[in-house]
Every structure is written in C-alpha cells, then in structure tokens.
Amino acid sequence: MSKEIVKKVCELLDDVRNKKPLVHNITNYVTVNDCANILLAIGASPIMADDIKESADITKISNALVINIGTLNERTIKSMIVSGKKANELNIPVVFDPVGAGASEFRNSITKKILEEIKINILRGNMSEVKFISGLKSTTKGVDASESDMKSGNEEGINIAKNLANKLNCIVAITGITDIVSDGECTVMLENGTKMLSNVTGTGCMSSALIGGFCGAGNDYFIGAIAGIISMGIAGEVSFEKSEKIGLGSFRVGIIDAISNMNSDIIVNMAKVQEI
C-alpha cells in the first residue's frame, strides 16, 4: 500500500505541473513570499488576496483556498470567513493552518469560529495546535510546538489525528519529527525531513501552501496532504545535504530549489511512508 501511495503522489505531482492550479492564500505577512514561491516552484499558481472587497471573488476562480492565521487581525478574519464559505459553496478544497492555536484567547476564539463556520477539508498543524483543537491539554511556544508536546509518541499522535479527523470529518496532518496524516480510517506516518526545517520560519506555512497546490490539482485530499508534506520533507533533506556547511540562508533557498526540481524519481527513491 505504501508503494501505491507513493505512486499516487508522483501522479499528483504531474497533475500539478500540467494543470497549474490557482491557489488562493489568505496567509500571514511573515511567510507570504515564501508561500508564493514554494507554490510556483511546485508548478502551481499562487494568489494572495486578503481584502474583504475581493477575497470571495478570488476564491471563486481558484482551485484551492489556504487559510493561515499566523499574523491574525480583525481585517483578514472577515475575508477568511467569506472566502471559506464561498469555497464550500463551490466545492473548492479548504486547507486550514491554525498557527499558534492555544497561544491566546483571541487566536483560540477565531480558530473555533473558522472551524464552526467553514467546512475544512485539510487541517495541518503542529502537535501543540492539533492537541489544542482536539480539546486536549497542550502548551505552545508562541507559534511553535512546545518541547513537551513534541515528545508525544507516535501512537498518541496517531490516535489524536484519527479522532480529530473523524470529529471534523476532514484530513488531519500533524507535522513534526514524524509527520502523521489521517482521514479517520487510513493513517500514515511520514519520516522525511531534517531538524533544520524547524530553524527556518515558514516551513509549516509552506507545507500548507503545498498541500493547497496538490489538492487544487486533484480530488483525493488524503493523497494531496501526503504529497505536500512529503515534498517539503524531501526538499529539506536535499537542501541540508547541499548547504550543511554554508548556513541557514542557503538552506532556506535550497528548499525552494529542491521543490522546483522535484520529480517522480526523487520521490520514489526518497519517500519514507509507513501505513498504519
């Protein structure tokens, strides 16, 4: 089955390159440029429109919507809600990245509001964020997962992902040392990546953007989530090998280089997928 998943990921990559899906990102100003460039690198087309006067119209012509609350503010919340509802109306996939959920009452209330008013297709977050949304005890380190939450074992992470996927009726992707993706029935662990990815801001945001690109090119959102996360993990490994002795700046640029050069042979040779 793992080989079949990898095969589907490769096919979906070809679909992204052929279809060039338009991905509407209502994201944060810290990582917006990286999210746009990572989508261009994979072969998708990004658009960043967060004003209420046009956000729903932009969603209407897009193939996927990515909502990211990294730099949350009152102005963009309205755009997120109307765009999410428009996406639901038109059966456009919605990716939600609940950056920093659990860190503040404001952020927590908006996370709840988004989940109540929008049908999310893919939820991607770190362990602290996903534990908070699951109603479990969690601690955050700003927008990063806390060390205590990151020590959650794979078995606990699998159970959390499966239960939340069933509760929200969506794909849940938990990214960390080991990535876990579940639709409530099928669950996989992905073991690509490097610790260096946590030293570059925005790699989680870029993963969510990539998921949007893959889901915008196909109808299998489970595979779309896996494809986005595998691509980022492999890109991190490739970039680290080339930039290890140079530094973080080169590593960051190397991630985009690696995504732009991603192909089926690289994925088949490097993907580490374990079906649960």
Which tens digit of pLDDT belongs to each residue from 235-267?
A: 999 999 999 889 999 999 999 999 999 999 999
What token pair was written down for 244?
């290890």
Give the model's pLDDT for residue 15: 98
From 259, 140, 270, 264, select the one nearest 203 (Cα to Cα). Answer: 259
- Supply the mean pLDDT for the chain: 93
Per-residue confidence (pLDDT) for residue 152, from 0 to 100: 58
71 has binding-site annotation: no
**Mean pLDDT (whole number) for 62-68:** 98
Domains of the chain: 2-275 (3.40.1190.20)
Residue 143 pLDDT exceeds 90: no
The whole-number pLDDT of residue 148 equals 45
Q: H-helix or E-strand containing 188?
A: strand 187-190
Closest CA to 152 of 123, 172, 177, 125: 177
pTM for the whole thing? Answer: 0.94
Cβ atoms of 59 and 22 within 8 Å: the answer is no
For residue range 216-240, what is the model confidence (pLDDT) as tens digits?
999 999 999 999 999 999 999 999 9
Question: What tens digit of pLDDT does each residue of 76-91 get?
Answer: 999 999 999 999 999 9
Convert the pLDDT of each residue in 160-216 to its tens digit.
Answer: 999 999 999 999 999 999 999 999 999 999 999 999 999 999 999 999 999 999 999
Beta partners for residue 47, in sequence order: 24
What average pLDDT score do residues 30-40 get?
A: 97
144-145 and 171-174 strand pairing? unpaired
User: Is pLDDT larger for residue 1 or for residue 213?
Assistant: 213
The answer on whether 252 is annotated among ligand-binding residues is no
Q: Is 184 annotated as a binding residue?
A: no
Q: Is 17 annotated as a binding residue?
A: no
